[in-house]
Amino acid sequence: MRYLQERRARIEIIPMIDIMLFLLVFFVMLLLKMIPATGHVTKLPNSTTAEAVPVPKLLVEIADDGTLHVEHALVTPAQLTDRLRALGPKTAVTIVGDQGVALQKVMGVLDAVKTAGVTQIAIAAHRAQ
């Protein structure tokens, strides 16, 4: 007889909490991916005179193999120069390179940036303790 009685609908709260927590974690992970990161380079060189600079308008990354990345896109030095010319000479550029990057690669990027007429150039480094 008990099985024939009409049962009242119930809202199960535990599965709803599980779904809400899953959505929260999903959105947090999504937002972390949306936050601009420094990109590919992980081991910056050290400097005892390093100081904080404002957020650059353009971040140029030099990978170990010498390739250039600007806003996560692979570019050549000529493309970098053209892009900086389009942005104008007041653009602040920060060059980020791994510890193992050859000095000649850094000089090539500096030449490309200066050819575009940019004067606000910084080189990223970790402050040595």
β-bridge mates for residue 99, sequence order: none
Query: What pLDDT was estimated at residue 120?
Result: 84
Coil, strand or helix: which one is 44?
coil
Tell how far CA 16 is from the center of its chain: 35
129 residues of the chain, pLDDT tens digit each: 566 777 777 778 888 899 999 999 998 888 777 655 545 545 667 777 777 766 667 888 888 888 888 888 889 999 989 988 888 888 888 888 877 888 888 888 889 988 888 888 888 776 665
Check if the beta carbon of residue 109 is closer than 8 Å to that of residue 95.
yes
H/E stretch holding 127: strand 126-127
Query: What pLDDT was estimated at residue 38?
Result: 47
**Whole-prediction pTM:** 0.58
Number of residues assigned to the chain: 129
Domains of the chain: 2-34 (no CATH), 46-127 (3.30.420.270)
- SS3 for 54-118, per residue? CCCCEEEEECCCCCEEECCEEECHHHHHHHHHHHCCCCEEEEEECCCCCHHHHHHHHHHHHHCCC
Task: State the greatest distance between any 2 C-alpha atoms of the chain, in Å, as a whole number.
Answer: 90
